Structure 1
Amino acid sequence: MRVARIVLIVVVILGGLFIAADRIAVSVAENRAANQAKISEGLSSKPKVSIEGFPFLTQAAFGKLDEVKVTANDIAAGDGDQTVRIENFHADLHGVKLSDSYRRAVADSADGLAFITYADLTKAAPSWLAISSAGPAADGTSRVKLTGTWHGAKLSVLSEVRVKGDDKIALHADKLPTAITALGLENEVRRQIDFTVQLNHLPAGIGLTSVTTTPDGISVAASGKNVVLAN
Structure 2
Amino acid sequence: MDSTKSTDQTAINMAESKSVKGKAPATYNVITKATPIQHGGSKRGVAIFDFVLRVSALVAALVATITMGTTDQTLPFFTQFFQFQASYDDLPTFTFFVIANAIASGYLVLSLPFSIVCIVRPHAAGARLLLLIFDIVLVAFTTAAAASAAAIVYLAHNGNSNTNWLAICQQFDDFCQSVSGAVVASFIAAVGFVFLVLLSVVALRRR
If the length of structure 2 is used for normalisation, what is the TM-score?
0.32
Higher relative contact order (CA 8 A, sep 6+): 2
* Structure holding more strand per residue: 1
* Structure holding more helix per residue: 2
If the length of structure 1 is used for normalisation, what is the TM-score?
0.29
